Amino acid sequence: MPVLDIVYLIAVVLLALYGLNAFVSVVLYLAHRRNAAPRPPLRELTTVTVQLPIYNEKYVLERLLAAVVAMDYPRDRLHIQVLDDSTDETAFLAEKWVEEYRAQGVWIDLLHRDHRAGFKAGALKAGFAQAAGEYIAVFDADFTPLPDFLRRTLPYFQADPALGLIQTRWGHINADYSGLTRAQAIALDGHFVVEQTARSRSGLFMNFNGTAGVWRKECIAAAGGWQDDTICEDLDLSYRAQLLGWRFLYLPDVVVPAELPPQINAFKRQQFRWAKGSMQAALKLGPGLLRARLPWFKRLQGLLHLTNYGVHPLMVILLLCTLPFLLTHASVSGYLGFLSLASLGPPILYGLSQKDLHGPGWLKQFSAFPLLMLLGTGIAWNNTRAVWEALVGRRNQFLRTPKFRVEGRQDNWSDNPYALPLDWDTVCELGLAAYACVAIFLAVRQRNYYMTPFLLLYALSFGYIALLDIVHSVRGRQCDTLTRVMRSRYQPSNLKKSPSHSR
């Protein structure tokens, strides 16, 4: 068998494996979706530390602090830490609001670092050393927890001493802002409604999603604390803790609203970080996972979970192999027929999540699924680069996802200094779209019509992402100069150091 056939066959088989695993998640979810653990009574109001890691978040910081301070919990047992690594005026705003809340009797500390060593993991580690609570809740800057969050999560810890983490569901503040945000909402709902529920209630490995969760402080310490050798410190710590025997719980009925990225480049940056960090965690923890004395199915599901972003380089390989096949008049109909069946798994998973969330009106919400198909395929080049950086050990650079405080359709992000400029990935995406178009032309000319749907999806997807790149970057271009000026003005060396606060 020629090398090209082997590469193509391996890519198809692995892609089919990930696609079929979506069916596994659906089956497990259907088997366990009614098996929610009853909430035990809250016996004791113990001290809780709420950590808020921030970096240049001046537009959403006030909203975040207001939500956390409004939590329905005794003030003398609610310890809030603002973990600020900001290099812009966010640092001054954080100090101002912390002082105002302290004057109102709120137990709140500001820990400002004049460096970003370890990025988010480094900030969480620094805060952990000064955390007063027995439990530690973490919220990113774009999240707005509801007042009853702690009262709805802490009882489970008190009922189960081996429970190390509680993860809650992400809600969406701005899902209806645009087609891009609607597609993201469907993707996240699939993960949080179906996948996380299936994993949690089936006893499989699940992950802390980096925010909207509560840790038992003892669990973090026992698992080795926050580590910065990956840029998915949340996934890394999750697996280390579960491999030690700590149990995790997912609560889909506890929802924390959050802001979805309205700019395609912000979304791509977020995806790049998740893809690279996940593959780093797989390389770090995969061997130990495979050697663990656990059921084979649990280990297999853990490995598929850790390496899930590997589907994107496989998709790129599949596209790149198609044109040589066409030029040599080789047949791949059997391969594609197998892949077609497996590719039905994700749509069923996403559709089920919308049906269970929205009831009779779910089809209206699901109408954005075609955009999700374009988004999920078109992001493949971006995430392939991320996976490659992880595989070759390229140095980490934690690029934040900019938050604009876009809550309704009337809000505008394009005049925001955090808007991201065009990057070179757009050229590659346009190139892949053109490559797919050439393959479509040859497939039609050779009457290989069974190949055209896949190729058409590639062409439309990469073209869609590239077009959004250009449109969104042009909208934000006028702000690029202002962004550079602000970043040069608010470097750590130019910031007044914030005083260290204590209770």
| Contact assessment for residue 230 and residue 286, using Cβ atoms and an 8 Å cutoff | no
Distances (CA, A) of 166 to 79, 251, 257, 323: 18, 7, 16, 47
Which residues share a beta bridge with 82? 52, 110
d(CA 232, CA 123): 14
| Contact assessment for residue 149 and residue 71, using Cβ atoms and an 8 Å cutoff | yes
Q: How far is CA 37 from the centre of its chain?
A: 26
Closest to 214 measured CA to CA, from 172, 259, 157, 171: 157
Active site residues: 85, 234
d(CA 405, CA 363): 28
Residue 402 DSSP symbol = -
The length of the chain in residues reads 503
Distances (CA, A) of 203 to 229, 247, 282: 27, 9, 20
Tokens of 371: 């955009």
d(CA 484, CA 459): 35
| Contact assessment for residue 136 and residue 128, using Cβ atoms and an 8 Å cutoff | yes
Residue 38 DSSP symbol = P
Residue with tokens 């130990």: 288
Q: Is 132 exposed, middle or buried (0-12, 13-18, 19+ CB in 10 A)?
A: middle
